[in-house]
Amino acid sequence: MAATITIEPKMHKQPTAVDEKRETILQTEDLSIYYGDNQAVKHANLDIEKHAITALIGPSGCGKSTFLRSINRMNDLIPVSWNEGKIMYEGVDILSKNINTIALRKEIGMVFQKPNPFPKSVYNNITHALRFYGNRKKKQLDEIVEESLRKAALWDEIKDRLHDSALSLSGGQQQRLCIARTLAMEPNVLLLDEPSSALDPISNAKIEELILQLKEDYSIVIVTHNMQQASRISDKTAFFLNGSVIEYGETEKIFTNPDQEKTEDYISGRFG
């Protein structure tokens, strides 16, 4: 029965993941990416955290995939693509000319929307790149195959089919094989471009579970059109619109109480 009517916050703002501090593994500094005259990413400044899952969301054409691809220089393959700004990784600007992109892509691996296994056996899919780099010891390769498949939560399902064609696997298994193939290179960062959008709900759930497990050992950046997926698995979310980062923050905040109206409209399905 207090006479005062001032409203004091009560029972909220308990310490949550919001207050967690993680190390940064990648930083983009004023990153702009162009295709010819068209600026696809505009002055992005994002700190990607170590051992965290960062989701990039936004409508088609917002620049999120271009941003993702720039992190391991996949945009180099597009002749009209050029960029400004920096992407700092372990103290080095990976956009600088003298970067060995092959070595970079070992460190920063990528998995694409559609499973793209080589038309080879499961075993050879994983060992192909290792052999290319000169590793020909059978025992060692066997170990890497098993370890990569275990990490990709695929070993138990296909350990008896290692010499079958990868193309005989289901879509979900093929995608986990692609993840295993990337893991075999012992990367630090995993870039996932809509890795489960072409999969059925069960395979999707397996991929999500896998991504959560991989967080222990890798830093993950994922582009997804699936809002529930972003809210379920990511620690941080960046919302892109027309090439700009509109809002970047803890996923919990972005999906419950975003600061920007545009973010709210997008995650609520009001445009995009």
Give whichever of 165 and 242 is closer to another protein, judged by the CB atom: 242
1 binds another protein per the rule CB under 8 A: yes
Choices 10-18, 37-45, 57-65, 111-119; region in contact with another protein by CB under 8 A: 10-18
Tokens 């693509």: give the residue.
81
Read off the DSSP letter of residue 119.
Answer: S
Q: Could you tell me how far CA 31 lies from the centroid of its own chain? A: 18
Q: Which CB atom, from 7 or from 103, has the smaller least distance to another protein?
A: 7
Stretch that binds another protein, among 33-41, 60-68, 70-78, 264-272 (CB under 8 A): 264-272
3 near another protein (CB under 8 A): yes
Measured distance CA(258)–CA(198) in Å, rounded: 29
Which residues, numbered 170-229, are part of the site for another protein (CB under 8 A)? 227-228
Gap between the Cα atoms of 82 and 138, Å rounded? 42
Q: Are strands 244-250 and 236-241 parallel, antiparallel or unpaired?
A: antiparallel
CB of 203 within 8 A of CB of 115?
A: no
Cβ nearer to another protein, comparing 3 with 77: 3
Using the minimum distance from each CB to another protein, give the nearer residue, 10 or 139.
Answer: 10
Comparing CB distances to another protein, the nearer of 193 and 247 is: 247
CB 86 within 8 A of CB 30: yes
Backbone angles phi, psi at 236, to 5 degrees: -125, 150
Region of 8-16, 109-117, 171-179, 192-200 interacting with another protein (CB under 8 A): 8-16
